[in-house]
């Protein structure tokens, strides 16, 4: 059994699985009607980016059980990236985000095609098409998983976890919608983080890989104790980068969370530390669609003055420490422990 972990080579393998799978699905769609070509293209584009962290966590959940290298497992792990692609398409649609990875989001790209073709009410039609692209990506994730080539008995072990992944991902997205525009609160924000992103990014892929490999209860507990805090740290880092990152590197607009008045922990920590005057100023910005670079600089300045980013950094560090400490529990083989420590840093110590 190889113990060497090459993240770049693994990412290339996952990219290849997804490219071949979605190319074939695109051909099947276009065979129905040539008009579906833009939809097929968005299936491919929406899943064409990322560090493939979710697939990597699934892979190491499998390897930690003592299972060998497996092409079938890599296909099953790649399905986690289709879950992510579906979530991103829906999230961008809900938030009306314009950019993702420096490219137009699915609904924006589809609208451009429809406008070019002279379609009436292109905006509404493009949003509807994007919703269906996201739905189809989620369905395709299930198909790639079940046709991965793993034995049916192995796949059955993870059936309940798949249901939990979908349920909790939807619950988190719904909670974010329900709390958007409300009074900023750190506990509420962390609950949204936990269910919208943290669980499906680390905990569920890791547990699914472990269940496929027949993980013992003690190892599953280790995965949970590692996965949840690390997933929260991942999203807290993402929120920081969303506002303080370089747009050229993040590929996103730094003002999206402020324009959307979203329940981020960064905003909640800022609000908690602000005085009445500062809260009044913030209240006047939240939810506005006409914000520009000057507003972004002013928001950043206030957050730094109130030391909100520093508190988020401490939250991240505490969660990464808790996650990596969990790996010291019995049952995690040394090669898996090394890889999962490396993945913890890769997921949270990043610039974009």
- Residue 2 within a domain: no
Residue 164 inside a domain? The answer is yes
pLDDT at 2 over 60: no
pLDDT beyond 60 at 345 = yes
Residue at 1 is within a domain: no
Q: Do the Cβ atoms of 83 and 71 come closer than 8 Å?
A: no
Q: Would you tell me how many other CB atoms lie within 10 Å of the CB of residue 122?
A: 17
Let me know the angle formed at the C-alpha of 99 by 115 and 258, rounded to the nearest 5 degrees: 120
Rg (CA), the chain: 21
CATH of the domain at 11: 1.10.600.10
Query: Using 50, 70 and 90 to split pLDDT, how confident is the model at 189?
Result: very high
What pLDDT does residue 350 have? 66
Tell me if 88 sits within 8 A of 21, measured CB to CB. no
Residue 251, both tokens: 């590929």
In a domain, 270, yes or no: yes
| Residue 12, domain extent | 7-348
What is the mean pLDDT of the segment spanning 247-262?
76
Classify residue 348 as exposed, middle or buried by CB count within 10 Å of its CB (0-12, 13-18, 19+). Answer: buried
Q: Does 306 map to a domain?
A: yes
73 contact partners, CB below 8 Å, separation of at least 6? 58, 59, 62, 67, 148, 150, 209, 212
pTM above 0.85, yes or no: yes
Residue 340 forms part of a structural domain? yes
Number of domains making up the chain? 1
Residue 145 is assigned to a structural domain of this protein: yes
In order of 77, 141, 213, 317, the CA distances from 68 in angstroms are 14, 23, 9, 32
Q: Report yes or no: 205 and 168 within 8 Å, Cβ to Cβ.
A: no
Residue 152 to residue 76: CA distance in whole angstroms: 12
Report percent pLDDT > 90 for the chain.
Answer: 83
251 pLDDT above the threshold of 80? no
Compute the mean pLDDT over every residue in the chain, rounded to the nearest whole number.
93
| 45 is a domain residue | yes
| pLDDT tens, residue by residue, 65-102 | 999 999 999 999 999 999 999 999 999 999 888 888 88
pLDDT at 331: 76
Residue 1 has pLDDT above 50, yes or no: no
Given a cut of 70, whether residue 223 has pLDDT beyond it is yes
Closest CA to 349 of 318, 324, 312, 320: 320
Of 161, 143, 12, 149, nearest to 86 by C-alpha is 143
Three-state secondary-structure class, residue 142: helix
Inter-CA distances, 189 with 49, 174, 235, 258, 284, Å:
26, 13, 11, 14, 20
């Amino acid at each position: 059994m190889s113990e060497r972990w090459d993240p770049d080579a693994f990412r290339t393998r996952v990219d290849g699985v997804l490219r071949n799978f979605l190319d074939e699905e695109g051909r099947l769609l276009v065979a129905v009607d040539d008009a579906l070509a833009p939809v097929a293209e968005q299936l491919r584009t929406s899943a064409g980016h990322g560090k493939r962290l979710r697939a990597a966590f699934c892979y190491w959940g499998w390897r930690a059980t003592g299972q060998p290298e497996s092409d079938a497992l890599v296909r099953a792990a790649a399905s986690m990236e289709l879950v992510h692609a579906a979530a991103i398409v829906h999230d961008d649609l809900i938030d009306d985000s314009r950019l993702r990875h420096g490219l137009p989001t699915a609904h924006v790209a589809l609208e451009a095609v429809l406008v070019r073709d002279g379609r009436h009410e292109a905006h509404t039609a493009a949003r509807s098409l994007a919703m269906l692209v996201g739905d189809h990506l989620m369905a395709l994730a299930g198909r790639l998983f079940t046709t991965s080539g793993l034995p049916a008995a192995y796949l059955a072990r993870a059936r309940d976890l798949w249901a939990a992944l979908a349920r909790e991902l939807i619950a988190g997205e719904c909670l974010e919608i329900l709390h958007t525009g409300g009074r900023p609160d750190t506990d509420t924000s962390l609950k949204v983080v936990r269910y919208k992103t943290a669980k499906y990014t680390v905990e569920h892929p890791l547990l699914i890989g472990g269940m496929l490999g027949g993980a013992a209860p003690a190892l599953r507990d280790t995965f949970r104790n590692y996965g949840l805090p690390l997933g929260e740290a991942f999203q807290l880092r993402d929120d920081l980068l969303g506002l303080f990152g370089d747009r050229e590197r993040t590929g996103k607009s730094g003002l999206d969370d402020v324009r959307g008045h979203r329940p981020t922990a960064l905003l909640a920590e800022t609000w908690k530390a602000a005085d009445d005057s500062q809260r009044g100023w913030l209240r006047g910005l939240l939810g506005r669609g006409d914000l520009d670079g000057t507003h972004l600089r002013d928001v950043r300045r206030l957050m730094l003055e109130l030391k909100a980013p520093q508190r988020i950094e401490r939250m991240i560090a505490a969660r990464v420490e808790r996650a990596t400490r969990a790996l010291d529990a019995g049952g995690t083989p040394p090669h898996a422990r090394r890889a999962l420590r490396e993945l913890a840093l890769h997921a949270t110590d990043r610039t974009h």
